[in-house]
Each structure stands twice: as C-alpha cells, then as structure tokens.
Amino acid sequence: MKKVSVGKKLAVYAPILLSLAILAWLVYPNLDSLLDTLRSADVFFLLCSLLFSVASYILMGLSLWEVLRILGHRLPFLETFSVAFVSTTVNYFVSSAGISGFATRAHLLGKRKVPYGASVTSSVVITVLIYLSLAVIVVQGAVLQFLQTPEFHHSILESVIGVGAVLTFAFLLTLLFFHHELRTSWGRRLFLAVNQVIYFFSRKEIPHENFDKFERQLDEGIRTIHSRRFELPVVIGYIFADWLSNILILYFAFKAVGVSMGATMLVAGFAFGMVMTVIPILPGGLGAMEAAMTAAFSGMGVPVAQALAASLIFRFLYYLLPAFASVLVYWWLRATEPKYTGEHSRHGRAR
C-alpha cells in the first residue's frame, strides 16, 4: 500500500487542528456559562432550527436539480438531492477550497450518466450564484448595521472587506468560466484535481476520458446555460430561499437560548459570520465563523455565552449533524448506483 506523505497528512489534519484550537480558545473561558445556557435551551425552537436546516438542504437539491434540467440531464429528485447533500457536506470534513465538493459531485453524477463537463458546469453556475447572493446579504447586513449605529467603525470596514472578497471570488470564477483561454488553462488543472479526489473514492475508477472530451462537454454546458439563461431566475430563487433558511436556523437558535432579536441585528451578525466560512484553509470555516458571530452579536449587546451558544447550535444543526448523516446517504447512493460499465458509467451517453 502506498504511504501517504507527511505533507499530505499535514494538509488534511492541520486545518482541522487549527479550527479545534480556535473553538477551544472560544469555549474554554466561557465553559460554565455556556453549559448553563445550553442546558436551559428550548427544545421547541431547537426543532424549528433543525426543520430549517432540512429545508436548506432540500433547496440545495432543488438548485442542482434545476441546473441539471437546464443542461438537459433529468434525474430523480431524491438522487439529485442526495448528491447535492453529500457533495456539500464533504467540504465540512476536508479543507480544499471546494475542490472536494466538486469532485464528489462529479463522481456521483458520473455514476448516473451525467458527463463530468456537465457536473462541473452545474457546480460552477451554482457556486457563482451562491457567492453573489451572499454578497447581497453581506451588503444588506452592513447597511442595516450602519443604520442602527451610524458611525464608521471596524465592523463596517470588515463588512466592506468581506463583500470585496466574496465579489472578487465570484468574479474570478465567472471569468474563468466564460473566458476561453483561461478556462482551458485552469480547466486542465481542475480536471486533474477532480481526478485525484475521485481516486480517493475508488482506486479502480479513475476517469478514462481525456481532457479534450472534458473541455468539449464544458463548452457545450456553457453554451446551453447561455442560451437558456432566462431559466436561471428559478435557480436564483432557490438559492435565496436557501440563505433565508440559514438565517432562520440562526434566528431560532437564538430563540432557543432566550434571545429575541430583530432582522437588523440578525442579518448583520449572520452576514459577518458567513464571510468567515469562505476562508479556504478551514473546513466549513470551523472556528472562524463561531468567533466572528460571537464577536458580532456580543458587540451588539448579546451576552457572550448566549451568542456563542447560538453559533454552536447553528454549527451543530447545519454542519455537523448533516455531515454525519451524509455518510449514510453516501452509502445509499453507492448501493443504488446503476449497474453500468465502461464509458457509459463514467461519462454519460456517448454523443
């Protein structure tokens, strides 16, 4: 068996250790008050948070299902939802700037005769729309916070920096997607990265198609998206509804620990926390998001123990619980894979 290098082990475990260190730094000084707050949490509001967490992942599945439909690939919704669920949660385990999610989605959809080019196209389109939507939410949060406390301070500057970072990422992703020369250069790197991650899942099923075929599929997907762009508002609606569900998870988490707040404070703190989740070296922004939310809400008058408790409830219900549930979903996807072999099982129908 091939030994894994020390560098690769560090790349996997160092971000997780860093995240755990941040959490320990947050939790330990507030441990007693945090435990008291969590013990007295209202179960009804926790169930409400859980309900909106489920709604969020269903909306993710609808987004993927709709984009695949636009690209001409119709799959049963349950399978599409399961693929979206697993490929999203894999990023909570491994810090890879989203490559793990892209590769997992390509692998699972490839087993259902969706070409890798179409998988990458759908992933890029959804990712761009998610980050553009997040930028709108961050801007809204910054404006609401400024209206509440109309003086320029560090949190406003941080929001501006966050908006800049999110928009820059979305712009670069869009540029790489639609600029042919850049797409060819970076597409080959993405193709190789996807292959490497797929190799992790099944050593005997490394894709056999060459890059030229992958690029043709990608070009075809881009042309299809451009020609049917007027159907994208449905996808955008699903994505905004997904973000709304996220905000309501946090809202009911605060309700569970005895804190009621208006939309201004809620959206401002949520936006600040979500900006931290785009940090590529931390899996799912673990640690950074909790620190940011705790700082934002405590700065707006919420007791530290309750702000930290709500952010941890949000982390558990939206990230950790789905991440462990996705293991079972992944097993189900593997058990129900169509029994195809050869070219059809990896790259879709030959054209």
Q: Which phi and psi angles does 177 have, rounded to 5°? A: -75, -40
Q: What's the pLDDT at 257? A: 95
Is the pLDDT score of 52 beyond 80? yes
Residue 12 pLDDT level (bands cut at 50, 70, 90): low
At 293-318, the pLDDT tens digits run: 998 898 888 999 999 999 999 999 99
Across the chain, mean pLDDT equals 77
Distance CA 333, CA 202 (A): 14
Query: How much is the pTM?
Result: 0.79
Q: What's the pLDDT at 343? A: 42
Q: Report how far Cα 347 is from the mean position of its chain's Cα atoms.
A: 25
Residue 232 pLDDT level (bands cut at 50, 70, 90): confident
CB-based contact 315:48 (threshold 8 Å): no
What does the domain layout of the chain look like in residue ranges?
12-336
CB-based contact 21:287 (threshold 8 Å): yes
Burial class (CB in 10 A: 0-12, 13-18, 19+), 115: buried
At 89-111, the pLDDT tens digits run: 988 776 655 677 778 888 899 88
Distance CA 350, CA 339 (A): 17
Q: Cα dist. 280→128, 172, 295 in Å?
A: 16, 15, 21
Q: What's the pLDDT at 117? A: 77
Q: What's the pLDDT at 299? A: 83
CB-based contact 277:2 (threshold 8 Å): no
At 133-187, the pLDDT tens digits run: 877 777 776 666 666 665 545 555 555 555 565 556 556 655 555 555 555 555 5
